[in-house]
């Protein structure tokens, strides 16, 4: 029996994992969340780190 490797998965000694994230920001009543340049830049930095 041959096992095919999962595409884009990370294989370690004991685990196999493949993470995908789908982020959606929808605020109630669709008010503008990131209303200042500082908030926008801070969120961009956080997402780059993650």
pLDDT single digits (tens) 12-27: 999 888 888 888 877 6
3-state SS assignment for residue 35: coil
Position 1 in a domain: no
Position 18 in a domain: no
Domain containing residue 34: 24-50
Total domain count for the chain? 1
Position 7 in a domain: no
The predicted structure's pLDDT at residue 1: 46
Position 50 in a domain: yes
Tell me, what DSSP letter sits at residue 50? -
Position 4 in a domain: no
Q: What is the pTM of this model?
A: 0.42
Q: Can you give the C-alpha Rg of the chain in angstroms?
A: 19
Position 8 in a domain: no
């Amino acid at each position: 029996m041959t096992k095919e490797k999962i595409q884009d998965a990370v294989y370690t000694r004991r685990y196999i994992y493949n993470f995908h994230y789908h982020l959606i920001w929808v605020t109630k009543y669709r008010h503008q969340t990131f209303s200042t340049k500082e908030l926008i830049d801070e969120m961009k930095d956080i997402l780059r780190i993650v």
